[in-house]
Structure 1
Amino acid sequence: MRVVMFGYQTWGHRTLQALLDSEHDVVLVVTHPKSEHAYERIWSDSVADLAEARGVPVLIRNRPDDDQLFERLREADPDIIVANNWRTWIPPRIFALPRHGTLNIHDSLLPKYAGFSPLIWALINGESEVGVTAHMMNDELDAGDIVRQEAVTVGPADTATDLFHKTVDLIGPVTTGALGLIAAGQTEFTPQDRSEATFFHKRSAEDIRIDWNWPAGDLARLVRAQSDPYPSAFAFHRGRRIEVLAAVVSQGRYGGTPGRIFYREGEGVVIVAGADARTGRNHGLAVTRVRTEDGRELPATEYFTTMGGYLTSRP
């Protein structure tokens, strides 16, 4: 099939690589310009560079809504558009243009975790599986019929970086497998159960601010979800920002006020957590490694030389 590819960052790069290595003919690539957004500098393999190295024409767009782009797409005469990590709305006149429509590749197990940063949100929420879905595009974001879907298990110590590496390896087989079904003439696919759909926004600095009213298990997953190279979860100690690089749920239960720097336990320092911490039924968050405002990384037991005081969400 003649394929036009819309994509960006490493997700788009892996998709394009799979298409270039397949029996299909990539006739045009559309990608975004480079960005300085904190999350878009991560996993930033260039779709444009790969396409140009393989002699495929490239168009750079923030939004695919201009007449010049539409005419180039018509001239390319695609059988299908394949999209992965395209960051803005694709209008119907474009996604419906090819003979077989548009196949979108999304890094979640749709219908859950449509939208942005699905791996991070899924990890924070304690999901047991994550994955990649290939679905037909329609008027609603990430809502079309599912062509192919593959899942991987979330391990008890997995970080968002671990899950990225697990799922990015699924992109190639999910993409080419879905295209194989379409090329073979299959037209009926699995409708999404919209009653199960969830939709998430882009991550921002506010989303990595630690709220000590959260249960310790949720906070431990937040820390793992914001693992390097993602921006680290943070709080404030004596008015200065401190990043929590590693933490686990405490073995013991600790009562009192959320955010209290309370007790050394093993290799960590336990911070009281949970909105109902006053009951004494909660585990705390045992912080094991931190980074200070000046960039120093050190064990929490070295940073917190005395117990007492609080970690707060704001200075």
Structure 2
Amino acid sequence: MRLAIVGRTKLLVDTARRLLTDGHTIGLVVTSGDMAASEPFAALAFACGAAFVETAKVNSQQIVETMRDAACELGISLNWRTLIKPATLACFARGVLNGHAGDLPRFRGNACPNWAILAGEPHVGLCVHQMTPELDAGPIYARTHYPLEADTYVTDVQNWIDATMPELFSSALASIARGEEPVPQNPDPSAALRCYPRRPDDSRIDWRTDADTIRRLIRASSRPFDGAFCFLDDRRVTIWRADVVEPTSRYLAAPGQPCEPVEGDPIVACGSGFLRLTDISLNGFSNIDSKAQVNRSARLRLT
């Protein structure tokens, strides 16, 4: 099939390259971003002999005409910032496929893997679906899942998405080539769950909550994101990894209070329960030195 690539991020470039190995061709590459982010897309277009467009206005009349002129059968989209409108979708005889990191129709919208961890879901989904004017509502050509265990971090999920998405698109296009119909989503409105964007400051820790809830926030905010955080004497402490623990001694402590450390790891009291901080950073200090800063006085508090 002759494809148009529409979106952002390295993952879309990797997906396009995977589809090229399947024998598909690329006639158009459309992206939106700063120069550094756009360079891999420009290089992809040059290598394929495809038209290249950098724009934030994918629904403009000019871009619609460019898409029609490219005569691509199918669009492949990831991480476009806005909804792609019907006139743009209609440029492609087979429509536009979108890769979505959510178990549709549950977890439509933004930051779905992060929200799935925060909500204590048993797994996170990955879908390739037909784009429609309604957000993440189109029928599904391919789907898979990744289990969310108690020690699964968003880092693990993102690595899985990066490895799996190109193969899932490959499977979806093979399904289309075989003439298979996509699976409609459950039309019951109660089956859908809309996820809204998260900002870095949404990951600030409230030590008055329980240890399990705080650890889910840490797991959902870890690399490649900005990390869950708090403050120590007005200095930001980013917590990348932590474990819920039961202290070997009995004691009372205020939420956010560093208690007796274990092998150098701070043990911090929560509203209920305790967390062992195993990977943290404070103002550019190493992990070990950051822990030493947190452990230096029993009178300190993480806030």
Q: TM-score, normalised by structure 2?
A: 0.88
Tell me the SS of whatever aligns to 1:311.
Answer: coil
Deviations 1:45-69 (A, max 9, x none): 8333223233222111113122111
**The one of 265, 290, 297 aligned to 1:268:** 265
Counterpart CA distance in 1 for 2:157 and 2:114 is 9
| Percent identity (aligned) | 29
1:293 equivalent to 2:293? Answer no
Query: Is contact 2:51–2:70 with CA below 8 Å preserved after alignment?
Result: no
1:299 Cα deviation from its structure 2 partner: 5.4
Counterpart CA distance in 1 for 2:210 and 2:39 is 36
Counterpart CA distance in 2 for 1:169 and 1:139 is 28
Counterpart CA distance in 2 for 1:167 and 1:9 is 13
1:254 Cα deviation from its structure 2 partner: 6.7
Q: Which moved more, 1:16-25 or 1:219-228?
A: 219-228
> Which protein has the bigger helix share?
2
What aligned pairs does 1:86-125 form with structure 2 within 5 A after superposition? 86-125=80-119
Gapped runs of 5+ residues in structure 2?
none
Query: Is contact 2:253–2:259 with CA below 8 Å preserved after alignment?
Result: no
**The one of 72, 78, 82 aligned to 1:84:** 78
* C-alpha spacing 1:58/1:45, structure 2 compared with 1 (3 Å): closer
Gapped runs of 5+ residues in structure 1?
275-281
Q: Which residue of 1 aligns with 2:221?
A: 226
Tell me the SS of whatever aligns to 1:133.
Answer: strand
Counterpart CA distance in 1 for 2:289 and 2:278 is 6
1:9 equivalent to 2:9? Answer yes
* C-alpha spacing 1:192/1:299, structure 2 compared with 1 (3 Å): farther
Tell me the SS of whatever aligns to 1:49.
Answer: helix
* C-alpha spacing 1:138/1:203, structure 2 compared with 1 (3 Å): same
**The one of 198, 222, 234 aligned to 1:203:** 198
Deviations 1:19-42 (A, max 9, x none): 222232221111112289xxxx8x
What aligned pairs does 1:136-147 form with structure 2 within 5 A after superposition? 136-147=130-141
Query: Is contact 1:10–1:45 with CA below 8 Å preserved after alignment?
Result: no
CA RMSD of aligned residues (A): 2.5
1:67 equivalent to 2:61? Answer yes
Q: Which residue of 2 aligns with 1:309?
A: 300
- Aligned-partner residue type, residue 18 of structure 1: R
Q: Which residue of 1 aligns with 2:237?
A: 242
**The one of 209, 213, 225 aligned to 1:214:** 209
Q: TM-score, normalised by structure 1?
A: 0.85
Q: Which moved more, 1:114-123 or 1:69-78?
A: 114-123
